[in-house]
Chains A and B, each alone.
Chain A
Amino acid sequence: MRETAADAGPAAGEEPAQAAGRRAGAASGAGHERIAAAFAAAPGRAALMPYLMAGFPTREGARAIGRAYAEQGADLVELGLPFSDPLADGPVIHEAGTRALANGTTVADALALCEELAARMPVVVMGYLNLVLARGAEAFAATLVEAGASGLIVPDLPLEESDEVLGACDAAGLALVGLVAPTSSPERLRAIVQRARGFVYAVSVVGITGERTALAAHVGPLLERVKGCSPVPVALGFGISTPEQATAAAAAGAEGVIVASRLMREAGQAEDPGAAVGALVAGFRAALR
């Protein structure tokens, strides 16, 4: 059974007015709704959701990248928490996380960035499960909501293991985004989609994050399968690295497009990460109009 938001109560230490506001928000699934609104309001053919890693290439650099995303018209933003052992990530994101940890980035730093970003667009946090469990699922979800986050993606949390985290997220009003893969059977896919909040994250490749030269042929059928049973929009991610691929993703039926490795590769190399990554995002934005 899902806990209802009304049972959750205000977070400890909050001012009463704020807490009351949150509680009202939680009861209506505030995160879920803000995400839904962003998808609905996306000006182009699909919502654009660029990724950034907290603290990469530096804390200041990450803030500049976040500002550039907002200025270039990102509809939502995915904020990665650096983790020591990111099993679902390829070399670029892995390296970004390693560098963020090396420069001392903590979850608290990421939350501060989240707050800044959330003032301008909905933030979906991407964090590995051990970071969630270290604080406890309930406390983690509450802290994220306090920092303005709307959603949470946990790449190493499959359906079978997700009860506790889903309950905590629902209680806090944070949308736990479900992931489907090209390998998901029809039954699994339906079960995942039924429990998805906010949107469904369709993994476009059989593999880890990283740039690819073209969209795989199975993407169209995968999106179709998800849309056939999903009450929430579906966004495609993993491997989308050019504006042309973004256009193709939208044409294949994606309602959102997530771009990560291509942007983080640029962020790791550029002298002015904000400007360089912003220019790339402008290209993706144009491609989705």
Chain B
Amino acid sequence: MTVEAGVAHRFGPYGGQYVPETLMPALGELEAAWVAVGEDPGFQAELALLLRDYAGRPTPLYLAERLSEAAGREVWLKREDLMHTGSHKLNNALGQALLGRRMGKERIIAETGAGQHGVATATACALLGLECVVYMGEEDTRRQRPNVERMRLLGAEVRPVTVGARTLKEAVSEAIRDWVANVADTHYVIGSAVGPAPYPAMVRDLQRVIGDEARAQLLERAGALPDRVIACVGGGSNSIGTFTAFVGDPGVRLIGVEGAGEGLDGGRHGAPLTAGGRAGILHGSLSAVMQDDEGQITDAHSISAGLDYPGSGPEHAWLRDSGRAVYCAVHDDDAVAAFRRVTVLEGIVPALETAHALHHALAPDPGSSTRDLVCLSGRGDKDLAEVLARDA
């Protein structure tokens, strides 16, 4: 498989490069390197081999029969939870770490919310012998403790971020500040389809393997396309990676599921695409963001650290506006219920992030889908303590 080198700066009006001047040359360098490796068979072969033998691709497509029975339609799960490190995040981290090494950067930095991207990046750096620093909000180091320990075992330095709400937004900001100061020898491996160009397109192209595989697998197994493709949306990487293969299939509905937290009304949520409102600038691009009237970014809330983010990938904002995809949001309580239900029905413990998508797949569909494809973006071992504590 060849990864396509995407360099789109704009998705409709969204995207762009809203960063301090210091970083602009680095973004140019990154874009040039990304385009170059797109045409480099050696790089592509190395990445493809690692994805197969090291990471475990292709991941299986699983017809979840008991879930299907409960939902009243076929539910096919794309098993990114079976990837090495337990989530889709490694697709992106491996590609970007390889790229960083190719660019001669000896130091890799990353942010992480749920810890899955941090673990994936720490893993890729261990494999490639690169120095790794991961920024993580202090609140998330508490919620996702096992992943903090995994990162440290892998040799990464985890830097807790203690400003603001101490979650993903602040972790991204700190990583960008580090990058501004160390841009000569450091590559910033951003963990989702967000940030200034070329990141959103690059992350999409590294994640689109999810949808490309799933589409081919489904056509082979079911002989047909799905009626709906459903994925959870934090920054939007597993979702854009799953959607991209189906964007050109007009009969396939694309549904992104955000975290509704405690509800959209009170503002305690992580659902900027669903909530709508004026677009804004966060972390280098124009997209759907949670903000007040003055333009201050507001704090997100979701039980799942990976969806606890007030921004969104710019391509999603455009897929929404252009009507090609729709976005909805699932409450904390419903996600926890789906987490438990899927675990007992299928013997699969999903990540809390993924549980949001699964809740939507299990809910009645007014459009009467007969076949759903759900991206099972990651496994939920990291979330056991959080879920058990909530039930206590």
Interface residues of A (CB under 8 A from B): 83-85, 87-88, 90, 94-95, 98, 101, 106-107, 128-135, 155-161, 179-185, 188, 192, 203, 205-208
Contacts and interface: CB of A to CB of B under 8 A. Distances in A.
Contacts of B107: none
A158 B21 contact: yes
B18 A208 contact: no
Given A106-B294, A134-B291, A206-B180, A157 B18 contact: yes
Contact of A87 (B20, B26, B164, B182): B20
Contacts of A159: 21, 24
Contacts of A205: 181
Given A98-B163, A206-B180, A179 B21 contact: yes
B22 A130 contact: no
A161 B17 contact: yes
Contacts, number: 112
Residue in B18, B173, B297 with the greatest tally of chain A CB atoms within 10 Å: B18
Contacts of B169: 85
Contacts of A185: 25
Contacts of B293: 134
Given A85-B173, A179-B21, A133 B281 contact: yes
B295 interface: yes
Contacts of B163: 94-95, 98
A101 B296 contact: yes
Residue in B20, B164, B169 with the greatest tally of chain A CB atoms within 10 Å: B20
A98 B21 contact: no
B281 A129 contact: yes
A84 B297 contact: yes
A259 B296 CA distance: 25
A70 B280 CA distance: 35
B142 to A, nearest CB: 21
The contact size tier of chain B is 35 or more
Contact of A88 (B17, B24, B180, B294): B180
B383 to A, nearest CB: 27
B291 to A, nearest CB: 7
Contacts of B18: 129, 156-158, 161
Given A129-B281, A133-B295, A208 B180 contact: yes
B350 interface: no
A111 to B, nearest CB: 12
Contacts of B3: none
Contact of A84 (B23, B24, B164): B164
Contacts of B289: 130
Interface string B281-313: 111100001010111111000000000000000
A203 B22 contact: yes
A90 B295 CA distance: 21
B120 interface: no
Residue in A129, A180, A182 with the greatest tally of chain B CB atoms within 10 Å: A129
Interface in B1-54: 16-26
B221 interface: no
B294 A158 contact: no
Contacts of B16: 161
Contacts of A128: 281
B176 interface: yes
A15 B16 CA distance: 39
A157 B281 CA distance: 10
Given A183-B21, A207-B22, 12 more contacts: A83-B295, A85-B173, A85-B282, A88-B20, A131-B294, A133-B295, A134-B295, A158-B18, A179-B20, A181-B22, A192-B21, A205-B181
Contacts of B24: 158-160, 183-184, 188
A94 B164 CA distance: 10
B82 to A, nearest CB: 36
A105 to B, nearest CB: 10
A87 B177 contact: yes
Contact of A188 (B25, B164, B183, B291): B25
A40 B24 CA distance: 32
Given A84-B297, A206-B183, A207-B180, A134 B17 contact: no
A205 B21 CA distance: 12
A235 to B, nearest CB: 15
A133 B164 CA distance: 23
Residue in A90, A159, A179, A181 with the greatest tally of chain B CB atoms within 10 Å: A181
A156 B181 contact: no
Contact of A206 (B17, B184, B278): B184
Given A84-B296, A85-B282, A156 B19 contact: yes
25 contacts: A84-B164, A84-B298, A85-B169, A85-B297, A87-B20, A87-B177, A87-B283, A95-B163, A128-B281, A129-B281, A130-B295, A133-B280, A133-B281, A134-B293, A158-B18, A158-B19, A158-B20, A161-B17, A181-B21, A183-B23, A188-B21, A192-B21, A206-B22, A206-B184, A207-B181
A159 B24 CA distance: 9
Given A87-B176, A88-B180, A207-B180, A134 B21 contact: no
A128 B289 CA distance: 15
Contact of A155 (B20, B176, B184, B278): B20
